[in-house]
């Protein structure tokens, strides 16, 4: 799977709207509270590192596989 996932969002990166949408999208997809999705780095960059609190790495990987259709 590699260690990067591309997430497409609709908001433009203006006034933090894109980051907000990214947090909401990831929280919804992983069944987490928005406060559990935290930027580790890259908040102002296209490439970001995200921490998902309350879910194990194995659980996150399984969910990603399901979303990506087993790719």
The pLDDT value given to residue 38:
96
Query: Which residues are 49's β-sheet partners?
Result: 41
The pLDDT value given to residue 1:
42
Which pTM value belongs to this model? Answer: 0.85
Phi, then psi, of 61 in degrees rounded to 5: -65, -40
Which residues are CB-contacts of 20 (< 8 A; sequence separation ≥ 6)? 11
pLDDT class for 4, splitting at 50, 70, 90?
A: confident
The pLDDT value given to residue 26:
94
What 3-state class would DSSP assign to 40? strand
Q: Which domains does the chain have, with CATH numbers?
A: 17-67 (3.30.1200.10)
Locate the DSSP E strands across the chain.
37-41, 49-52
Per-residue pLDDT of 8-61, as tens digits, reads 899 998 999 999 999 999 999 999 999 999 999 999 998 999 999 999 999 998
What 3-state class would DSSP assign to 11? coil
Would you say 22 and 48 are in contact if contact means Cβ atoms under 8 Å apart? yes
């Amino acid at each position: 799977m590699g260690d990067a996932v591309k997430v497409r969002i609709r908001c433009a990166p203006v006034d933090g709207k894109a980051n907000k949408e990214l947090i909401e999208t990831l929280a919804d997809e992983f069944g987490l509270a928005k406060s559990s999705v935290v930027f580790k780095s890259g908040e102002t960059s296209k490439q970001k590192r995200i921490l998902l609190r309350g879910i194990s790495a194995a659980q996150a990987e399984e969910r990603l596989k399901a979303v990506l259709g087993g790719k």
